[in-house]
Amino acid sequence: MTVSIDDFMLKATDEQKQLLFDLVELGEKENAICEKYNKKIKPYAKMAQKADPMKDGQYAKIIAEDAEDFALLATKEERKELKQVKNKMKELYLKAVKIEMGDLGIIQRNYENYVGEPIIN
């Protein structure tokens, strides 16, 4: 059964509350990294949309594929930073289930995205 955040916060321990705050903070950091990356690839995506595949042949296809591939356009530091954030998020989601937060909707919705497997309570 899914528990609302309001109901949960009424009886949450300090550790559980801190974990939620940490998840929000890391989520904001992850979002900032992705926004920065999206701004970087925007010109490439526009070029790919404007390119005439019949005229330019494979060129348009290559640009479109590269613009969508974080590993090709992101710097090593950006990839490292995003990986660190995602690994920390995974740790926090695993911990959340261990400290009896698995019924919380936000945990249920995001657990599999970060842990890579369905949540098991």
Q: What is the mean pLDDT of residues 85-105?
A: 96
Spatial CA neighbour of 116 closest among 94, 96, 99, 95: 94
Measured over the CA atoms of residue 101, residue 103, residue 107 and residue 113, the dihedral's sign is positive
Min mean pLDDT across 8-17, 76-85, 104-113 is at 76-85
* DSSP code string of 55-99: HHTHHHHHHHHHHT-HHHHS-HHHHHHHHHHHHHHHHHHHHHHHT
Instruction: Tell me which of 7-11, 73-77, 100-104 is least confident.
Output: 73-77
Question: Angle at Cα 109 formed by Cα 104 and Cα 111, nearest 5°?
Answer: 90
Least confident of 3-7, 37-41, 103-107: 37-41
Predicted local distance difference test score (pLDDT) of residue 121: 63
Query: For the chain, what are the domain ranges?
Result: 5-115
Q: Are 69 and 21 in contact (CB under 8 A)?
A: no
pTM of the model: 0.75
- pLDDT for the residue 57: 47
What pLDDT digit, counting tens, does each position of 20-78 carry?
999 999 999 999 988 887 777 777 666 655 655 545 444 444 444 444 555 566 778 88
